[in-house]
Structure 1
Amino acid sequence: MTIKRIVTTAFILACGAGSAALIYAWQPALPPIAPPSPTGFDASEVRYGADLALIGDCRTCHTAPGGRTFAGGLAMPTPFGTIYSTNITPDARTGIGQWSLEAFTRAMREGVDREGRHLYPAFPYDHFSLTTDVDMKALYAFLMTRDPIVAEAPANDLPFPINVRLVLAGWKLLFFHPARYTTDPTHDDIWNRGRYLVEGLAHCGACHTPRNFMGAETRSEDYAGGEVEGWSAFPLGRLSPAPIPWTEDALNHYLREGWQAHHGVALGPMRPVVENLAEAPAQDVAAMAHYLASLGATAGPSVQIPTVSPDASGQRPQSAGWQAAISTPAAGGPIGRAIFSAACASCHLSERPLPLGGVDLALSTSLSASTPQNLLDIVLNGVPASDGNPALIMPGFAGSMTNATLASLLTFLRVEVAGKSAWPDLPAAVAAARKAASPPIHVRATR
Structure 2
Amino acid sequence: MTNPTSRVRPAGAGGDALREQRLAQQRRLQRHRVVNMATLAAAFSLFALYIAWLEVHGADAVRNDELPMAVAAARGPAELDGADSTELAKRGEYLARAGNCFGCHTSDRSRPFAGGVAMNTRFGTIYTPNITPDADTGIGQWSNADFLRAMHEGVGKTGERLYPAFPYPSYTKVMDRDVLAIRAYLNTVAPIHSTPPANALRFPFNQRWLMFFWNLFNFDEGRFVPDPKQSAEWNRGAYLVDGLAHCGECHTPRNFMDGLQSRERLSGATRAGWHAFNITPDKLSGIGDWSDADVVAYLSSGVASGRANAAGPMARVVEDSTQYLSGEDLRSIAVYLRALPPVRRADTQPRDTRGVPATDVTALRGAAINGVNGAQLFIANCASCHRWTGEGIGASAPGAYPPLIHNSVAGATDPANLVMVILQGVSRKTQQAEILMPSFGNQLTDVQIAALANYVTARFGNPRASVTAVQVEQLRSQQQ
TM-score band by shorter chain is 0.7 to 0.9
In structure 2, relative to structure 1, the CA distance for the partners of 1:20 and 1:382 (3 Å cut) is same
8 Å contact 1:90–1:148 — kept in the other structure?
yes
What is residue 249 of structure 1 aligned with on the other side?
293
1:244, CA displacement in angstroms?
A: 8.6
**Mapping for residues 287-306 of structure 1, pairs under 5 Å:** 287-295=332-340
Q: Please say if 1:421 is aligned against 2:464.
A: yes
Q: Aligned partners of 2:179, 2:353: CA distance in 1, in Å?
A: 47
The aligned length equals 407
Q: Report the Cα offset of residue 161 of structure 1.
A: 2.7
Quick one: distance in 2 between partners of 1:151 and 1:168? 26
SS state of the match for residue 204, structure 2? Answer: coil
Question: Which residue of 1 is the match for residue 160 of structure 2?
Answer: 117
For residue 112 of structure 2, what is the amino acid of its counterpart? T
Q: How does 1:22-41 map to 2 (within 5 A)?
A: 24=50
What amino acid is aligned across from residue 44 of structure 1 in structure 2? Answer: E
Structure 1 residues 392 and 20, CA gap change in structure 2 (3 angstroms):
same
The Cα of 1:389 is off from its aligned counterpart by 8.7
Of 393, 405, 412, 2:436 maps to: 393
Match of 2:313 in 1: 269
* 1:285 maps to 2:330: yes
Q: Could you say which residue in structure 1 is the equivalent of 2:381?
A: 343
- Kindly provide the amino acid, as one letter, of the partner of residue 184 in structure 1: D
Matches within 5 A, 1:42-121: 42-65=85-108, 68-121=111-164
Which amino acid in 1 is paired with 2:256?
F
Q: Note the C-alpha offset of 1:48.
A: 0.8
Pair 1:229-2:272 in alignment: yes
Query: Structure 2 CA distance, aligned partners of 1:261 and 1:359?
Result: 9
CA–CA separation in structure 2 for the residues paired with 1:277 and 1:58: 12
1:13 correspondence with 2:39: yes
**How far, CA to CA, are the matches of 1:339 and 1:243 in structure 2?**
32
Distance 1:72 1:324, change over 3 A: closer
Please list, as runs of the form range in 1=range in 2, the aligned pairs for 1:97-176 lying within 5 A after superposition: 97-176=140-219
For 1:160 and 1:249, the matched residues in 2 are separated by: 47
More off after superposition, 204-213 vs 173-182: 173-182
Cα distance between partner residues in 2 of 1:294 and 1:325: 41
Distance in 2 (CA, whole Å) between partners of 1:388 and 1:2 is: 75
Residue 323 in 1 paired to residue 357 in 2? Answer: yes
What does residue 5 of structure 2 align with? none
- Residues 346-398 of structure 1: per-residue CA shift (max 9 Å, x gap): 32235423443321212111122221111001112212374999322212222
Which residue in 1 is equivalent to 2:66?
Answer: none
- Indicate conservation of the 8 Å contact 1:110/1:178, yes or no: yes
Is this contact kept in 1: 2:88–2:185, CA < 8 A? Answer: yes
Structure 1 counterpart of 2:165, which letter?
A
Tell me if structure 2 keeps the 8 A contact 1:84–1:155. Answer: yes
Q: Which deviations, in whole Å up to 9, do the C-alpha atoms of 1:146-192 show, x marking residues without a partner?
A: 22222223322223332222211111111111232122233322221
Query: Letter of the aligned partner of 1:123 in structure 2?
Result: F
TM-score, normalised via structure 2 length: 0.76
CA distance in 1, matches of 2:462, 2:137: 54
- Distance in 2 (CA, whole Å) between partners of 1:229 and 1:65 is 20
- Unaligned stretches of 5+ in structure 1? 32-39, 299-317, 441-447
The more displaced of 385-394 and 171-180 is 385-394
How many angstroms apart in 2 are the aligned matches of 1:93 and 1:258?
A: 38
Query: Gapped runs of 5+ residues in structure 2?
Result: 1-26, 60-82, 344-351, 364-369
Could you say if the C-alpha distance between residues 86 and 243 of structure 1 is closer, same or farther in structure 2, counting changes exceeding 3 Å? closer
Alpha-carbon distance between aligned partners in 2 of 1:389 and 1:248, rounded to the nearest angstrom:
19
The whole-number CA distance in structure 1 between the counterparts of 2:477 and 2:121 is 18
Give secondary structure in 1 for the equivalent of 2:410: helix
Amino acid at match of 1:82: T
Determine if contact 1:25/1:166 at 8 Å carries over to the other structure: no
- Give yes or no for contact 1:225–1:235 (8 Å, CA) kept in 2: yes
> What SS is found at the alignment partner of 1:393?
strand
C-alpha distance in 1 between matches for 2:38 and 2:230: 54
TM-score normalised over the length of structure 1: 0.81
Equivalent pairs: percent with the same residue? 36
